[in-house]
Structure 1
């Protein structure tokens, strides 16, 4: 007997909502360093575009200094309703966004529900496009069927996060990376919901029930259209005085060339180029040792940074990580 239809392939990362009290720095970072198109609806809001869609990043004034919501573009109304029904069937509350919230995100309507690490998950079917020509320093970014990039989380409960995205979006495990950073052993799970190698990465600290990162996201990623676009944005980040987290390098698993800048809110922003696209007919999950073939050298790390990381880890013991047990499945043995 066949199970319910899968929604895999009909889900794409569409936008992110970021809350900050460093709005002026974010405007300069996004426009002058990364090279995106910027609109400022009012003094407390900024939107960045990567393509013809009205909004890919909504930056609003507030104290979080973090990603607070992720918007997922769903291909059609039947798939949208299937996802909504799944969430409701597990007893998780679903709320409709207001007309104003939808307009700010550049969509016709949206539904929202709780997500791991306190990041609200939002789904929509119809993005609004802008007739206004793009004003960007970059020649373009890769979006389309792959979505606009990926988000990466650290977690003391990575299996629950994988279970969540499997339950809600039929996410598939692409591969793992085993890495040791500052003495901590990490197993990173890469999850895909379409042809992009991963739309969600989850780094679990092995053997320690702590989360070393203050922010809900460790980094987010966008994909430059050309190698020249990536290299020029790397140069602008340096020249404008923004912190660089990792130098240019190439990943072991998706082969993407990229660098990591540090945003005004503290989490990292990866600009990448030319990751591989998964062929569903042949792909098998595997484990890679280390995140990089070459490069991705830490930049600017100091004793103070390491002490801050230790404090964040200790703080995470006192404040349990937010999960959504009802949508996280029975637990998936994947180690």
Structure 2
């Protein structure tokens, strides 16, 4: 039997599998997830609940606590060989790994759970063999796109974007898909889009150009899930409005991945993008480019006031005194801070 070398790529064998959110707003999150977005809900205890998008037992695990934020992201690794290559890389860089307990793995509906530090204090978890739920889906949406592309993407804001890019390159062999340059309220942003499989991006990293500011209070700026149909996007958009949840950005289409989407504001404060029909990357032909502007049309702010903008600037000012958490040992040295 031949074995692959330790430096063999894991690109394509890694998929965003679940997200762990810590919140004290369980009632609001249940309404948001089931009645507005249209996901399947399972209540496990007064302090634990899950949302499903498909036949996997868990796509979002909500735990009771004060963070009001994403605290962990889980990555499905296709096989034990790739899992062991990732673990070996992390340990070789002197970064501690912790085996998840049987109870923790069961809550996430997975086997062979391993966790380790990630950028911005978000714990990264890898696992194999997601468990299939015994009960059929009960949800308002007709379905969501997961499979080989994973379940969507995570978007971060950062004062150290090159280090985040280096981290995911070191750990998952992430590839740069493209960039977007955008100016919002006079602030110039550069956004990097990183992929670990055929999905256009599983990680997006936005940075303020020329200033060490992070204008977002939460560790994540938004989470994305992909609806099965355009009708699902339209119906959930209507439900978000009717149920009184805040809408961050109206329906629009992105310049780079061509996804049609909208952004709602979650009960914890970060944003939630529901999208449809993004492009799939062809590795044989793709070349990174830079796009001017986030959207070709739409994605307009909804209900944003001067007070909201001032609060965002205050958050950015506070970030100057709060060092951003990184994992230097895994952040690489060969990635240019472009």
**Counterpart pick for 1:88 among 63, 69, 91:** 91
**Structure 1 contact 160–331 (Cα < 8 Å) conserved:** no
> Structure 1 residue 66 and structure 2 residue 65: aligned?
no
Question: What residue number does 1:33 align with?
Answer: 36
**Counterpart pick for 2:215 among 204, 212, 234:** 212
Q: How many residues align?
A: 334
Question: What residue number does 2:80 align with?
Answer: 77
> Structure 1 residue 43 and structure 2 residue 46: aligned?
yes
Residue 320 of structure 1 aligns to a residue in which SS?
A: coil
User: Equivalent residues in 2 for 1:301-312 (5 A)?
Assistant: 301-312=304-315
> Structure 1 residue 105 and structure 2 residue 108: aligned?
yes
Taking a change above 3 Å as real, the CA distance of residues 303 and 314 of structure 1, as seen in their structure-2 partners, is same
Residue 131 of structure 1, CA deviation: 1.9
Residue 184 of structure 1, CA deviation: 1.0
Residue 3 of structure 1, CA deviation: 8.3
Question: What residue number does 1:9 align with?
Answer: 12
**Structure 1 contact 58–105 (Cα < 8 Å) conserved:** yes
Residue 110 of structure 1 aligns to a residue in which SS?
A: strand
Question: What residue number does 2:129 align with?
Answer: 126
**Counterpart pick for 2:165 among 162, 167, 185:** 162
Taking a change above 3 Å as real, the CA distance of residues 308 and 331 of structure 1, as seen in their structure-2 partners, is farther
Residue 109 of structure 1 aligns to a residue in which SS?
A: strand
Residue 44 of structure 1, CA deviation: 1.1
Cα distance between partner residues in 1 of 2:228 and 2:101: 34
**Structure 2 contact 161–337 (Cα < 8 Å) conserved:** no
Question: What residue number does 1:136 align with?
Answer: 139
User: Equivalent residues in 2 for 1:261-276 (5 A)?
Assistant: 261-276=264-279
Residue 75 of structure 1, CA deviation: 0.2
Structure 1: gaps (5+ residues): none
Residue 334 of structure 1, CA deviation: 5.2
Cα distance between partner residues in 2 of 1:61 and 1:306: 30
Deviation digits for residues 208-240 of structure 1 (CA, Å, limit 9, x no counterpart): 001000000000000000000111000000000
Residue 182 of structure 1, CA deviation: 1.4
Residue 319 of structure 1, CA deviation: 0.8
Question: What residue number does 1:298 align with?
Answer: 301
Cα distance between partner residues in 1 of 2:66 and 2:288: 39
Cα distance between partner residues in 1 of 2:66 and 2:6: 44
Question: What residue number does 1:223 align with?
Answer: 226
**Structure 2 contact 6–85 (Cα < 8 Å) conserved:** no
Cα distance between partner residues in 2 of 1:145 and 1:283: 18
CA-atom RMSD, angstroms? 0.9
Question: What residue number does 1:197 align with?
Answer: 200
Cα distance between partner residues in 2 of 1:64 and 1:97: 21
